[in-house]
Structures are given as C-alpha cells and as structure tokens.
Amino acid sequence: MLTEHLTEAERQYYYMDQCHQWVTSQEEKLGRPLTASVITFGCQMNARDSEKLTGILEKIGYTMIDSEKADFVIYNTCTVRENANMRVYGRLGQMKQIKKKNPEMFIALCGCMMQEPEVVEKLKKSYRHVDLIFGTHNIFKFAELVYRRITEGKMVIDIWKDTDQIVEDLPNERKYPFKTGINIMFGCNNFCSYCIVPYVRGRERSRQPEDIIREIEKAVADGVVEVMLLGQNVNSYGKTLEQPLSFAQLLRRICRIDGLERVRFMTSHPKDLSDELIQVMAEEPKICRHLHLPLQSGSSDILKKMNRRYTKEDYLKLVDKLRRACPDISLTTDIIVGFPGETEEDFLETLDVVEKVGYDSAYTFIYSKRTGTPAAVMEDQVPEDVVKDRFNRLLERVQTIAARVCSRHEGTVQDVLVEEVNHQDPSLVTGKMSNNIVVHFKGDASLIGKIVPVHLTSCKNFYYMGESVKNN
C-alpha cells in the first residue's frame, strides 16, 4: 500500500490530495465550486473539532459556506442532553428532501452522539441518505474516510470505542483570526454519575507540552492574541505523559510566549484544583480573571450521588482560596436541577451556595436522563412540575445576583478584546473583558482583534456600555 511507510499525518495529507483531485474533477464537470458546511452542536471541544474538520475540507478543495444546501454537510454532534439528539434527527429528516434535489451531495455525522451504538443502528436503518458516520476518536482520519466514501460509493461507518492516539500537524481553520481554542488533552476519567462524556470521549490522554507550545506559537505568529486551553478537566493535564507535567507548570510555559496576550482555560473540576494552580493564576497577568468552576449541586448528599468527589464545604473553601488569591476573579458555573433524589432541602443548599459565591453567570440545566449512565437507573426521579418550579426559582436568583455582581466594574477603565461589529447597531463594536463580560462601545471593524482600553459607563445587567478611552 502506498501509505504504509508514512506517519499518520502524512497518510492523511495523502488522502487530502486524492480527495482534492476528485473535487477538482467534479467542479470541472459541474462548472462551479463544490461547497461544504460544518454545523456544530455542543461544547467548545466540539467547536474546536469543527475548526479541524473545516481545515481539512478546505485543504480538500471545498468552498465553505453557512448553509445546509452545500454539497457536503457535516453535523458535529453532542449527546450531553437528549434534546441535542432530537435536534440532529430533525435536521436529518429535513436533509432527506434536500438530498433528493442534489443526489450527489454528501451528508456526514460525527461527534459524541455517534459513540452511542444505538444511535448508529438507528442511522443505518432509518437514515440511509447519510454518507459518512464517525466518532470522537478518529476525527484525524476525516480525509481518509471521505476518500473511502468517494471510492466505495456507499455509506461509510468508522466508530472507535477508544484510542490513545493523538495526531499532530493536521489543518485547521479558525473561526476567529485573533483567538482560538487549543486542545491540551482529550477524554475524561471522572465518571460523574449523570454524564455520558467519559463513555463517548474515552480515557484521558494529554498532548505533549512541546506540541501545545508549538501550536500556540504558530497561532500567535498568525495573529492570535488569546487562546482558550481545552480539556474535559484541565486540572488532570499531564498525568498520562511519560514525563509528568502539571497543568500549572504548562500554564507558566504558555505565559512566556511572546505576543500572546490572554490565556483562558476550561473546564476546571473543583475536586482537584490545586494550590499550585491558584498561585499561578494569581501571579501570571496573561491569565484571564475568569474561572468556570462547575458546582452542579450545593447539596453534599447529591454531590456524592453525582460522584463529584467534593462536598459543599469543600467547594466554598475553594472559592474562598480563589478570592483571596485573585480578588478580582469572576466565577461562572454549571448547575443541574432535579437530579434523582433531590429534595427541597437539597435544592435550598444549592441556592445557599449561589448566594454565598455570587456568580457572574451560571449555566442552569434541568437534569437529563442519559441511557448508559448510573443516574439513569436511580430511583426517586423528581417530578417534572417540581423540577420546573425549582429551575425557575434558581434562574431568578442567579440573574438577580449576577446583575449585582457584574455592576461592580461600572465607572472603571478595562481592557476589552474587540471581537466583532455589533449585530444590532453597526456603529458599535462588541468585545470581552479579561473576566469574560461583554462590552459594547463606539468603534468600527478596524478594531477587531485589538485590545482596547474602555471606560465602562453603564452596566446593563449582564453587559456594559462603554467609551473607548482613546476616543475621549
């Protein structure tokens, strides 16, 4: 075989070249460019995967567009909550009609949802118009799988149960020229009882620090000023390396990169957020003053059922440590309402933590039963009307507190990374402060990607209106 002596990256570039030749011939036959579209569901890990898929599609020769009427449509799926699966099935139903009008088009599915065997069986039986199905572990093989679909002329399914393989140096196309996500690790070993992620993302595996540094340096040379370091639990970084390196030590190295202005990271699990990491956050000015610290529940009893491996008291002590080390830090969180067995007393414990911490914002979710997780078979599932009532009470409390907390910067001057021209008012630009709060102020597209000092004139609950200091 032609590719047997090549590295995995070289193999994939070989298949990209083969696919490119096919795309060119198709374009000549049709007399127009072939288009592609990547539709992303779910988390920032998925968004980063979609950048890689986009980079490969562009290398193959496709012109990227934002439409599901493209010649190649790929859905990068999420399965954390059941409604995410239903949205994908709904889209696929609509795509059947679109494909009838363009039978030469390709439809691909990848991501977490594809790691569920029952999903793949359903697709094989009821969605025969899908051309390509693969999961979370073999995204690097995308070009090879496309080549198989071209040459075999039938549905290609390639699902891996797990992998320890990490393939470097493949193409990726950033959504923003000035910021990007960087995977530092893959997989999860936490097995929270409600969560399907460890089953679909596999075991933890860390990238080599040299590869991470090299990727960031290359991105900075290409105009990136802010990176988001990504992992299901970044605190676990380095444990699978032959020469272990802590996440805190990796952060120190990244902060030494010339030209890099801001460093963010997520997600950080409360069970193993170390004193060393808190110290680095306090000492390194490039690390953004924002931490996403998922709570999930304020009840120690529920946290134990969730297998979170910390108590309410542990969490509050950790917040106190963080606030003492980084007084200006903004905290955000995730909270699940209606976990099996949650009583009114348990829910009130959650409200108590929300009051004591004072989050800048919280992502609040109604518990979603995921088949295959321990929580799915737990007794005492909470009645729907009770869950909805608690959810609404929590949301009202979170929003009231967040509006108060966010207003503390009113009247100050803060650095804002400008991200885009405002969609509602084109005379404004929109950006984010180091603590992740959104700011709108007068400006134009020339400011995009720049960090601008802005006087925050008024707080509008969850965002600020401001004035560029340079324009005053």
> Which neighbouring-strand residues pair with 264?
228
Q: Kindly give the interhelix angle for 142-152 and 44-60, rounded to the nearest 10 degrees.
A: 50
Give CA–CA dist 407/404, Å, rounded. Answer: 5
Q: How far apart are CA 400 and CA 406, in angstroms?
A: 10
Instruction: For residues 464 and 9, give the distance between their C-alpha atoms in angstroms, rounded to a whole number.
Output: 45
Q: Is 147 helix (H, G, I), strand (E, B) or coil?
A: helix
Classified as helix, coil or strand, 258 is coil
Spatial distance between the Cα atoms of 241 and 329, rounded to a whole number of angstroms = 31
Rounded distance between C-alpha atoms, residue 62 and residue 468, angstroms = 40
Supply 273's token pair: 């957020």
Q: Would you give per-residue pLDDT tens digits along the chain (472 residues)?
A: 566 678 888 999 999 999 999 999 999 999 999 999 999 988 888 888 999 999 999 999 999 999 999 999 999 998 877 777 888 999 999 999 999 988 889 999 999 889 888 889 999 999 999 999 999 889 999 999 999 999 999 999 998 887 777 777 788 888 899 999 999 999 899 999 999 888 888 889 999 999 999 999 999 999 999 999 999 999 999 998 999 899 999 999 999 999 999 999 999 999 999 999 999 999 999 999 999 999 999 999 999 999 999 999 999 999 999 999 999 999 999 999 999 999 999 999 999 999 999 999 999 999 988 888 999 999 899 999 999 999 999 999 999 999 999 899 999 999 999 999 999 999 999 999 999 999 999 999 999 999 999 999 999 888 999 999 975 4
The confidence score (pLDDT) of residue 171 equals 81
CA atoms within 13 A on the CB side of 125: 6
205-244 residues labelled b (16+ CB within 10 A) or e (exposed): bbbebeebbebbbebbeeebbbbbbbbbbbbbbbebeeee
- Non-local (6+) Cβ contacts of 267 within 8 A are 231, 232, 233, 234, 292, 294
**Other CB atoms within 10 Å distance of the CB of residue 186:** 23
The whole-angstrom distance between residue 405's C-alpha and the CA centroid of its chain comes to 25
CA distance 241 to 445: 43
- Residues comprising the chain, all counted: 472
Q: Is the link from the previous residue into 180 a cis peptide, with omega within 30 of 0?
A: no
Secondary structure (3-state) at 259: coil
Here the contacts of 152-160 (C-beta below 8 Å, separation 24 or greater) are 155/124, 155/128, 155/130, 155/131, 156/131, 156/132, 157/120, 157/124, 157/133, 158/133, 158/134, 159/114, 159/115, 159/120, 159/133, 159/134, 159/135, 160/135
User: Which strand (E) or helix (H) includes residue 64?
Assistant: strand 63-64
Residue 182 near residue 216, CB atoms below 8 Å: yes
Q: What's the pTM value of the predicted model, to 2 decimals? A: 0.85
The radius of gyration of the chain's CA atoms, rounded to the nearest angstrom, is: 23
SS3 label, residue 103: coil
What is the C-alpha to C-alpha distance for residues 412 and 408, in angstroms, rounded to an integer?
9
Nearest to 230 by CA among 265, 203, 197: 265
Rounded to whole angstroms, how far apart are CA atoms 461 and 131? 46
Tell me the two tokens of residue 102.
């363009």
Encoded amino acid at 149, one letter: R
Angstrom CA distances, 146 to 93, 149, 151, 155, stand at 22, 5, 9, 10
